[in-house]
């Protein structure tokens, strides 16, 4: 430990955007960091997500309409929300808790809890890009498109509720031909839209790799292929042991393993379950350059400019985190998005990917100290791990080094 009682060394388990952001901000506070990952940097959801930095759409998943939508889609294997009909008591327990939290009261609490993160998340990215992270963030509005004005009502209600909670989201509504002038990729079937201003996007894999390079340049070691099987107290510190028998010790350990968080976190007193809400993505060429992100809320599809093409992402599939890719889910995304988009070469898609997003039943992530001394967790952000990754790292680094829980982390207490 340091002279002031804070840790001098830390091990971060997980080399995604949340873990690497925590490592970076710990370094800012003088902590020597080692990052370990069972695969490699950006091997999971930090690579294949839509890359949106969108405080305006970082909306908790447990909105009451999601429960109604989920019940309607249970028997439809091509629906954007998919729950396989397999006997899994743990999944059933999770979904029961999730359903109990699909109320305006619980959703409102999650919205209010997210408010400090949404207010500060873009600033946290700016801190990184001003201090060695070379990958850019790109400012652009997000255009949400619908087939009818009536379909847009639900999102308008959500945006109004969020603005009433204290976060100011600037948005404009469009109909008919005005919509097509905003986003040339939208087809004539799209007749209503909501443009959210003040948003950004990134190439998520490149940003995460650039963040890793910055962490290494500042003195950290990143060890890939390090599958952690045990974390235990050792000679006044904490040892992290891999399946190969390697170990690394430090004063503090941060668990940032996404959908796998409960594997170690449960023994540290983390009782809130984290399940894999798996998302799919792929990349397709377009006839014209894409000016900014496009959101298709009715079919739960997010589209982002990506390396001169268009990354298309969608689906919330509750399967095991390590289950294989199901081509039927990719086909379902294409079938639902194709009518609303034009000039897209669907048959030339590349980079088809599936990865797990860590979902909690109450719409709030798990960030902070556990009941095990010196052990911390950061995860459970659902679909907004990239948007909230850097601000999570900044807040958690403050708690680790000062021993005081920031007010913004109270509702995210991992032992709640």
Query: Does residue 267 belong to any structural domain of this protein?
Result: yes
Largest Cα–Cα distance in the chain? 69
Query: Does residue 2 belong to any structural domain of this protein?
Result: no
Token pair belonging to 55? 């405080």
Query: Does residue 283 belong to any structural domain of this protein?
Result: yes
Our count of domains for the chain comes to: 1
Question: What is the SS3 assignment for 113?
Answer: helix
Residue 247 and residue 237 in contact, taking contact as beta carbons nearer than 8 Å: no
Query: Does residue 118 belong to any structural domain of this protein?
Result: yes
pLDDT tens digits for range 70-106 = 666 655 666 777 777 776 888 889 988 998 999 999 9
Query: Does residue 1 belong to any structural domain of this protein?
Result: no
Domain CATH number, residue 303? 3.50.50.60
Query: Does residue 182 belong to any structural domain of this protein?
Result: yes
Enumerate residue ranges in the chain where pLDDT < 50.
3
- pLDDT at residue 416, rounded to an integer: 94
Alpha helices in 222-356 (DSSP H): 261-265, 327-337
- pLDDT at residue 86, rounded to an integer: 72
Residue 240 to residue 268: CA distance in whole angstroms: 14
Distances (CA, A) of 7 to 33, 37, 92, 105, 403: 10, 21, 40, 38, 10
**Which residue range forms the structural domain that includes residue 196?**
9-412
Distances (CA, A) of 168 to 23, 55, 94: 30, 10, 32
Residue 193 to residue 297: CA distance in whole angstroms: 10
Residue 114 and residue 57 in contact, taking contact as beta carbons nearer than 8 Å: no
- pLDDT at residue 70, rounded to an integer: 62
Residue 132 to residue 138: CA distance in whole angstroms: 17
- pLDDT at residue 10, rounded to an integer: 98
Residue 323 to residue 82: CA distance in whole angstroms: 14
Instruction: State which H helix or E strand residue 312 sits in.
Output: strand 309-318
- pLDDT at residue 64, rounded to an integer: 81
pTM for this model (two decimals): 0.93
Query: Does residue 164 belong to any structural domain of this protein?
Result: yes
Residues 6+ apart with CB under 8 A from 49: 204, 279, 281, 313, 355, 357, 383, 385, 386
What helix, strand, coil percent values describe the chain, rounded to 5?
40, 25, 35
Nearest of 233, 224, 191 to residue 340 by alpha carbon: 191
- pLDDT at residue 154, rounded to an integer: 86
Residue 374 to residue 246: CA distance in whole angstroms: 20
């Amino acid at each position: 430990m340091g002279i002031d009682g804070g840790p001098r060394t830390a091990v971060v388990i997980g080399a995604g955007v949340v873990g690497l952001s925590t490592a970076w901000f710990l370094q800012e506070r003088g902590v020597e960091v080692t990052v370990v990952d069972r695969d490699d940097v950006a091997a999971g959801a930090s690579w294949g997500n839509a890359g949106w930095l969108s405080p305006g759409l970082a909306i908790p998943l447990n909105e009451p309409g999601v429960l109604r939508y989920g019940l309607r889609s249970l028997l439809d294997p091509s629906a954007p929300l998919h729950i396989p009909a397999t006997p899994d008591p743990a999944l059933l327990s999770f979904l029961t808790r999730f359903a109990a939290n699909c109320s305006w009261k619980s959703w409102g609490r999650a919205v209010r809890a997210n408010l400090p993160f949404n207010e500060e998340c873009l600033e946290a990215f700016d801190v990184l890009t001003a201090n060695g992270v070379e990958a850019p963030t790109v400012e652009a509005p997000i255009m949400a498109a619908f087939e009818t004005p009536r379909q847009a009502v639900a999102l308008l209600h959500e945006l109004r509720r969020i603005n009433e909670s204290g976060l100011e989201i600037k948005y404009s509504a469009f109909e008919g031909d005005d919509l097509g002038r905003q986003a040339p990729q939208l087809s004539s079937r799209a007749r209503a839209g909501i443009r959210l201003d003040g948003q950004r996007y990134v190439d998520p894999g490149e940003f995460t790799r650039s963040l890793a390079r910055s962490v290494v340049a500042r003195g950290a070691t990143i060890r890939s292929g390090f599958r952690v099987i045990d974390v235990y107290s050792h000679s006044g510190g904490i040892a992290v042991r891999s399946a190969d028998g390697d170990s690394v010790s430090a004063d503090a350990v941060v668990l940032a393993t996404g959908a796998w968080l409960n594997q170690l976190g449960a023994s540290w007193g983390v009782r809130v379950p984290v399940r894999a809400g798996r998302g799919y993505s792929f990349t397709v060429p377009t006839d014209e350059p894409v000016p900014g992100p496009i959101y298709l809320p009715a079919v739960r599809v997010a589209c982002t400019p990506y390396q001169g093409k268009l990354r298309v992402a969608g689906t919330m599939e509750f399967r095991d985190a390590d289950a294989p890719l199901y081509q039927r889910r990719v086909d379902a995304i294409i079938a639902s998005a194709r009518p609303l988009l034009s000039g897209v070469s669907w048959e030339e898609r590349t980079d088809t990917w599936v990865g797990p997003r860590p979902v909690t039943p109450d719409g709030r992530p798990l960030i902070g100290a556990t009941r095990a001394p010196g052990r911390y967790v950061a995860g459970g952000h659902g679909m907004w791990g990239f948007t909230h990754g850097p601000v999570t790292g900044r807040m958690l680094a403050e708690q680790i080094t000062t021993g005081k829980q920031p007010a913004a982390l109270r509702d995210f207490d991992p032992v709640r």
